[in-house]
Amino acid sequence: MFPQIRMRRLRYGKLKNMVRENAVNVGDLIYPFFVDETAAEKSEVASMPGVMRWPLSLAVEAAREAYDLGIPAVLIFGIPKTKDEKGTSAYGDDDVAQAAIRRIKAEFGDDLIVITDLCLCEYTDHGHCGIVDFETRDVVNDQTLPVLGKIAVSHAKAGADIVAPSGMMDGMIEAIRLALDENGFEKTPIMSYSSKYASVFYGPFRDAADSGFCFGDRSEYQMDPANGDEAIRETELDVLEGADILMVKPGMPYLDIVYRIKQEFKMPLAVYQVSGEYAMIKAAAEKGWLDEEKCFLEACVSMKRAGADMIITYYAKELAKILAAKDQKKVLANVPKSKR
């Protein structure tokens, strides 16, 4: 007991760094970005300062910005030229996501991991994540599954390293795994949005991806924010169906879920710091109420502490620069002043 035990003894100077339990590294980061088939030049998303919609012609440049900073993976969201009720522009060989994948893989090969978001919401004119029965206004689960399989195969053919289904359809992991395996892509991993909540924090994303829904909401297939045990059941089903990497989305409001899933399944786990989390910190920082860099870094450290192995964040490039600067300071700190 005090005064023999003093917790502050380990909180000074370099010793503090030596006993630090968790840290964010550039190798933990995944950079998500939007590729717009109709755009001629990149444009900023109004509700997400610093986040761009990139034209297809600049998809390689968008990926290069991450690659040059040491970020190992990108996550691509396609914004198509045309949308219809069945999302047919999601799985053509020459559609926007597939074209972006091919260009990026041709440039970087195996040196950059390309992950693709696999969902219908960006490609349907109604904005829902599956096929809709317009008589009942219901998102029809089982009719959606083969379409998701087609999208997965088209992404893998284009060169995607990982497919990441996000629609929260029951049985989607099994359907995608079977489709990939039947088409010779048994080595392509699935990163499942295994615990995706019906969250208010997705608002800015819908502006960025033009994926707002024209009726209802997504609460009938995304998870109730009030539920925790349900996340374990959802995740277990995805594991049994063949998911290789798990995900919790959003991030900070669901750190308890991150912890529980990591403890329960001991599998690679990604956390998505979503658009609303990004916009919230950015807005507060612009007001001068928060230190932007420290806040993003602390938020990501909290995700690592909860059990995340990977962090998907729109702030990935800025974080990579912050981490590089910190590493440089550490190097200088170990060099005698006379030799600097």
Dist CA 44 CA 8 (whole Å): 45
CB 52, CB 44: distance < 8 Å = yes
In the chain, how long is the greatest CA-to-CA distance?
78
CB 279, CB 207: distance < 8 Å = no
Q: Which residue has the tokens 């892509």?
A: 185
Q: Could you confirm whether 304 is annotated as catalytic?
A: no
Q: Which of 196, 262, 282, 304 is catalytic?
A: 196
Peptide bond into 55 cis (omega under 30): no
Length of the chain (residues): 340
Dist CA 153 CA 159 (whole Å): 10
How many Cβ atoms sit within 10 Å of the Cβ of residue 174?
A: 17
Dist CA 285 CA 87 (whole Å): 38
Q: Could you confirm whether 249 is annotated as catalytic?
A: yes
Residue 104 C-alpha from the chain's centroid: 18
Dist CA 178 CA 152 (whole Å): 10
Q: Which of 86, 105, 249, 282 is catalytic?
A: 249
CB 127, CB 84: distance < 8 Å = no
> What token pair was written down for 212?
């707002």
Residues forming the active site: 196, 249
